[in-house]
Amino acid sequence: MALDEHGPRLHAWLVTRVGPDRADDVFQETMLAALAAWESVTVSSLKAWLFSIANNKAIDEERRAVRRPSPEGEIDDWPSAEVTDRLDDPVWDEVRALPGKQRLAVSLRYQGDLSHRQIAEAMGISEAAARRNVFEGLKNLRERIGDE
């Protein structure tokens, strides 16, 4: 597998998708699922396939998080400054506020560096729908940020 090639970008995307505290675990679950299916799968784009698995694992994580108890009391200074510097970008704050499909398409395009075809494969939609979701997401961002 091309873990060296796609791993860092996939992990970075997961940090924005599920947060820095869960990204490592979801990344690990993604790689385990990919390795388990590797012998029996034929894919046109390894990158899109990995992001598709990662997105499914992120959805599973979100479902688990709803059932997970929340901590009470004081929490140490976490996440680290290095992680929060990457997350404090106001543009990505606006991306996180987009509707679900637009948020996913824009983050796959610019955080994951996937083509429209790969985005379509990862999201399970047509290439035209993927292109439209990216377009609408960017249009929404321009309106929100005021950059016409």
List, in order, residues 6 or more apart from 79 with CB less than 8 Å away: 20, 21, 87
What domains can be seen in the chain, in order of their start residue?
3-65+86-145 (1.20.140.160)
For residue 136, the model assigns a pLDDT of: 94
Q: Mean pLDDT throughout 107-117?
A: 88
Q: Dihedrals φ, ψ of 97, to 5°?
A: -90, -5
The pLDDT confidence band at residue 78, using thresholds 50, 70 and 90, is: very low
> What confidence tens digit (pLDDT) does each residue in 35-56 have?
898 888 888 888 889 999 999 9
- How confident is the prediction for the chain on average, in pLDDT? 83
Residue 108 has pLDDT above 50, yes or no: yes
